A and B are shown apart, each in its own frame.
Chain A
Amino acid sequence: SQKIEQNSEALNIQEGKTATLTCNYTNYSPAYLQWYRQDPGRGPVFLLLIRENEKEKRKERLKVTFDTTLKQSLFHITASQPADSATYLCALDRGSTLGRLYFGRGTQLTVWP
């Protein structure tokens, strides 16, 4: 079965620093990898999608990398702000499974002033 590990349950950083979150997976290689943000009591919100043939994707202060050899994705938030505090979920789409997503447990990010 697909196994997804996110580096830690919690990450605390100071405002202005870069937050780096890790997502490692085993077994099957995903065709797509997505990152979502989830706030308490809310549903996940899509942030970025990267395809297996892409190395890097950027959107404003966010950057995602995808290394299919290492079976790893890194998610970076530069110039972090307290408003970035949330849980970040990594999700894999194997491509062959009709778009169902396999989610990691998430990393809870806290950015302190």
Chain B
Amino acid sequence: GAGVSQTPSNKVTEKGKYVELRCDPISGHTALYWYRQSLGQGPEFLIYFQGTGAADDSGLPNDRFFAVRPEGSVSTLKIQRTERGDSAVYLCASSREAHNEQFFGPGTRLTVL
């Protein structure tokens, strides 16, 4: 079956703009995670959804970052007033349930000019 997909694959924006990143998890996976990865670093946790609700958003760096998963499948990560420091690869992962292996998408490379 299809894996986790993310769109767009690349996003270039200007400082101060708003961006939305989309994640389509594997069908039937209730757990969905967002991570951010900078060059030479491991993925850094942002937020975890169990179903439609954000069960853990403690990794979101500030209130410019927000994510939703309204129907318990597709998720959107929203970043307001982007800053150059937001430039990174944003990874989405899903799993059948918590504490299982996570299936990652290819990521969205965000560049803020």
Question: Among B11-19, B35-43, B67-75, B79-87, which stretch is in contact with chain A?
Answer: B35-43
Contacts of B43 in A (CB 8 A): 44, 89, 101, 103
Task: Give the chain B neighbours of A105 by CB distance below 8 A.
Answer: 40-42
* A43→B35 CA distance, assembly (Å): 11
24 CB < 8 A contacts A-B = A31-B99, A42-B106, A43-B4, A43-B104, A43-B106, A43-B107, A44-B43, A44-B104, A46-B102, A46-B103, A95-B99, A97-B56, A98-B48, A98-B50, A99-B48, A99-B97, A99-B100, A100-B45, A100-B59, A101-B33, A101-B35, A101-B102, A105-B42, A106-B42
Set A36, A100, A103, A104: member contacting B48, Cβ < 8 A: A100
Chain A residue total in the interface (Cβ 8 A): 27
- B76 within 8 Å of A by Cβ? no
Is there an interface contact between B95 and A103, defined as CB atoms closer than 8 Å? Answer: no
Q: Are A100 and B44 in contact (CB under 8 A)?
A: no
User: Which residue of chain A has its CB nearest to the CB of B109?
Assistant: A41
Binding site for B on A (CB under 8 A): 4, 9, 31-32, 34, 36, 41-46, 49, 89, 91, 93, 95, 97-106
Does B105 sit within 8 A of A, measured CB to CB? yes
Q: What 14 new A-B contacts, CB under 8 Å, besides A43-B107, A49-B100?
A: A4-B42, A34-B101, A42-B107, A43-B91, A43-B104, A44-B91, A44-B102, A91-B42, A98-B98, A99-B102, A101-B33, A102-B45, A103-B43, A103-B44
Contact partner of A49 (CB less than 8 A), chosen from B45, B101, B103, B106, is B101
